[in-house]
Amino acid sequence: MSVARALIRNHLTSGEPRAGEEIALRVDQTLTQDATGTLVMQELESLGLDRARTEVSVQYVDHNLLQADEKNAEDHAFLRSACRRYGLWFSKPGNGVSHPTHMQRFGKPGRTLAGSDSHTCAAGSLGMLAIGVGGLEVAQAIAGEPLYLRMPEIWGVRLTGALPDWVSAKDVVLEMLRRHGVKGGLNRIIEYHGPGLAGLTAMDRHVIANMGAELGATTTVFPADDAVREFLRAEDREDEFSELLPDGGYDIEEEIDLSTLEPLIAKPSSPGNVVPVREVAGTDVSQVVIGSSANPGLRDFAIAAAMTRGRQTADSVSFDVNPSSREIFADLTKMGATFDLISSGARIHQAGCMGCIGMGQAPAVGHNSLRTFPRNFPGRSGTREDSVWLCSPETAAAAALTGVITDPRELGMAYPELPLPEHSSVNTDMLVPPLPPDQATHEELVKGPNISSLPDFPELPDEIEAPVLLKVGDNISTDEISPAGARALPFRSNVPKLAEFTFGQVDEDYPRRAREEERGHFVVGGDNYGQGSSREHAAITPRYLGLRAVLAKSFARIHWQNLANFGILALEFTDAADYDRIDADDVLRLRDLREQLSGGAELTVHNVTKDEDYRLCHRLSRRQRDAVLAGGRIPLLARR
């Protein structure tokens, strides 16, 4: 049995674990961060929760750290009060990015973790079943409800050999993206195994597991072996280790010989646009950023410090370093690596996501930015017309030194030795534990003026006749639907205000046209609609503006679930050619929706403008159909 199957078997509460069947899993831990967590806390309030019913639930403040005005500070105060009220841990601003910090302090082999962040899958590095989902799923998990999902296929990736010098864990997952693209993992769990694991630390595995989200995978899983034991020992948590090893049981199998890999890089503007670094060497670079949950380990910063030690970075480059946790920042400083980075010209920022979510560090238009980040979707950096490349710390540091994209093997230096400490600088002072129940019940939620209540959404009508307000292509991301960046994200707790930014990357006039269309509207999309972030704002704000259904060739997993949670009908073309037959502003009609949805998986939509019919299908379970018809899961729960 594979590790993934064992984890599912041990947490299964209903359903049959056959590929494509809906199953329900018991959730041991939850993770929320501030960009999505405020909605989760509002949902807990709507659900009338008394106290968290999980083993551990943690709220991190790591995304919206810049306090340019009062909005982010208000959200931080609200999140702290909600943690005190509902019995969650609170990780203060500056304590670190949620994923590496959770791995250091709370991750346990054999546990399940549901997180309102698509990169929650990073915890699979410890032998956990860690799944990124929408905020409402997390809220229900905190309230003791199971997590529902379609049983994925198990994709076994056997690693052999050892990584050569100048090639690291980021290049492993970039190789997966080079082979399979951003849809390769859809409806699959990726499980790495084999003798090649011996050369990968737990934090190396974090790098690979983290970007399983970019492959579209449900999650990524590694075994809990000696590398995991060693990691927990360094964190003073060896007593929480339990071995979990695989024994076959894969639906799909693949092999990567690590010794054959070379430095890779993802070109703008997709994580799947991967080429060897040598093919783009010499391209000018004006910004290099090291950090984020995709390269959060001590060695990821230490290698950059060692490469730049005694050297000065190119005068054309802004060299930015974002420590991923307070603990790692302390270890870097003890090693002297912080001094090396500062001396080389690095700008040291606070421990957090920062430029990864577009909160600061936005690049100039027409200038290339190399980042050790997981995503480079258009505009995610905070610059609408950006040019962001994704790479390893070695490749990033090489570019910082030369001012151009450089294969680090061509620097003419020996690969640095990295004498990393065996014991981490464990410090839990910025982790605030839950209040005792008798104190928590007296806590009031602190809501500033920028924190709205969740909108009330009416049930789905039996007939929809409305225009196609927007038609988009393949791989539209949630960043393009509800943008990241310093302009929009401070309004993440204020749905009416955030709605003004909806689809701004695609059509700035969409919010106005949507508000003026009293009949509601449709959106038509291509393949992999809604890839990327788990933020449910990308479902809520279009719904607030009147979106009733999305017709697409296919959907990304988390966004598809979020659409159902907030009463938006997600329909897929049975004939992909029908996508080309629909134009923006065509009026479509869906009739007898209750009868059609209860009668099977197929529906008919009529194009009133062109007098044509198209067949579509849905993949909704009965549970999801009930939620869509009710206008969303919260109205459905309230009705019950």
Q: Give the tens place of pLDDT for each residue, 256-290.
A: 999 999 999 999 999 999 999 999 999 999 999 99
CB contact at 8 A, 144 and 53:
yes
d(CA 634, CA 457): 9
Examine the pLDDT at 59 and tell me if it is beyond 90.
Answer: yes
pLDDT tens digit sequence for 415-448: 999 989 999 999 999 999 999 999 999 999 999 9
Longest dimension (CA), the chain: 72
Q: How confident is the model at residue 149 (pLDDT cuts 50, 70, 90)?
A: very high
Exposed/middle/buried for residue 354 (C-beta within 10 Å: 0-12, 13-18, 19+): buried
Question: Which segments within 496-568 are labelled E, that is strand?
Answer: 521-525, 547-552
Examine the pLDDT at 306 and tell me if it is beyond 90.
Answer: yes
Q: How confident is the model at residue 405 (pLDDT cuts 50, 70, 90)?
A: very high
Backbone angles phi, psi at 258, to 5 degrees: -60, -30
d(CA 87, CA 45): 13
For residue 598, the domain's CATH number is 3.20.19.10
Question: Which segments within 408-490 are labelled E, that is strand?
Answer: 431-432, 464-471
Q: Taking each helix axis as running N to C, give the angle between helix 34-47 and helix 537-544, from 0 to 180 degrees, rounded to the nearest 10.
A: 70
Q: Residue 269, preceding bond cis, omega within 30 degrees?
A: yes
pLDDT at 285: 98
Average pLDDT over residues 47-65: 93
pLDDT at 392: 98
Which tops the pLDDT comparison, 60 or 453?
60
Within 8 A by CB and 6+ apart from 335, the residues are 302, 305, 420, 421
d(CA 122, CA 212): 8
d(CA 154, CA 141): 24
**Number of domains observed in the structure of the chain:** 3
Please report the DSSP string for 559-590 in residue order.
Answer: HHHHHHHTT-EEEEESSGGGGGG--TT-EEEE
- Whether 102 maps to a domain, the answer reads yes
Q: Which residues of 171-190 are buried (b: 16+ CB within 10 A; e: fewer)?
A: bbbbbbbbebbbbbbbbbbb
CB contact at 8 A, 466 and 518:
no
Are both 221 and 101 inside the same structural domain? yes
Are both 567 and 619 inside the same structural domain? yes
- Whether 443 maps to a domain, the answer reads no
Are both 149 and 180 inside the same structural domain? yes
Average pLDDT over residues 62-75: 87
Average pLDDT over the chain, rounded to whole? Answer: 95
CB contact at 8 A, 372 and 295:
yes
Out of 362, 392, 409, a domain closes at 409
Are both 382 and 338 inside the same structural domain? yes
Which tops the pLDDT comparison, 461 or 67?
461
- Whether 436 maps to a domain, the answer reads no
Examine the pLDDT at 382 and tell me if it is beyond 70.
Answer: yes
Q: Taking each helix axis as running N to C, give the angle between helix 135-142 and helix 557-565, from 0 to 180 degrees, rounded to the nearest 10.
A: 70
pLDDT at 256: 98
d(CA 486, CA 63): 10
- Whether 415 maps to a domain, the answer reads no
Examine the pLDDT at 638 and tell me if it is beyond 80.
Answer: no
Are both 355 and 244 inside the same structural domain? no
Examine the pLDDT at 140 and tell me if it is beyond 70.
Answer: yes
pLDDT at 490: 87
pLDDT tens digit sequence for 206-237: 999 999 999 999 999 999 999 999 999 999 99
Q: How do 318-322 and 347-348 pair as beta strands?
A: parallel
- Whether 437 maps to a domain, the answer reads no
pLDDT at 640: 65
For residue 207, the domain's CATH number is 3.30.499.10
Examine the pLDDT at 639 and tell me if it is beyond 80.
Answer: no
- Whether 127 maps to a domain, the answer reads yes
Out of 213, 238, 260, a domain closes at 260
Q: Is 523 helix (H, G, I), strand (E, B) or coil?
A: strand
Are both 214 and 278 inside the same structural domain? no
Q: Which of these, 59, 106, 84, 78, lies nearest to 436 by C-alpha position?
A: 84
Residue 70, number of CB atoms within 10 A of its CB: 13
Out of 237, 260, 283, a domain closes at 260
Are both 216 and 297 inside the same structural domain? no
CA 205 distance to own-chain centroid: 17
Are both 159 and 235 inside the same structural domain? yes
Domain of 177, in residue numbers: 3-260
Q: Which residues of 410-436 are buried (b: 16+ CB within 10 A; e: fewer)?
A: ebeeebeeeeeeeebbeeeebbbebbe
pLDDT at 484: 84
- Whether 452 maps to a domain, the answer reads no
Q: How confident is the model at residue 188 (pLDDT cuts 50, 70, 90)?
A: very high
Examine the pLDDT at 320 and tell me if it is beyond 70.
Answer: yes
Are both 68 and 199 inside the same structural domain? yes
Q: How confident is the model at residue 358 (pLDDT cuts 50, 70, 90)?
A: confident
Examine the pLDDT at 527 and tell me if it is beyond 80.
Answer: yes
Average pLDDT over residues 9-27: 96
| In 403-509, alpha helices (H) | 437-440, 478-481, 495-498
Are both 241 and 268 inside the same structural domain? no
Q: How confident is the model at residue 240 (pLDDT cuts 50, 70, 90)?
A: very high
pLDDT at 599: 81
Are both 248 and 268 inside the same structural domain? no
Average pLDDT over residues 373-378: 94
CB contact at 8 A, 92 and 430:
yes
pLDDT tens digit sequence for 449-489: 888 878 888 899 999 999 999 999 999 999 999 998 888 88
pTM: 0.94
Residue 7, beta-bridge partner list: none
Question: Which segments within 433-543 are labelled E, that is strand?
Answer: 464-471, 521-525
Are both 253 and 269 inside the same structural domain? no
pLDDT at 92: 96
- Whether 19 maps to a domain, the answer reads yes
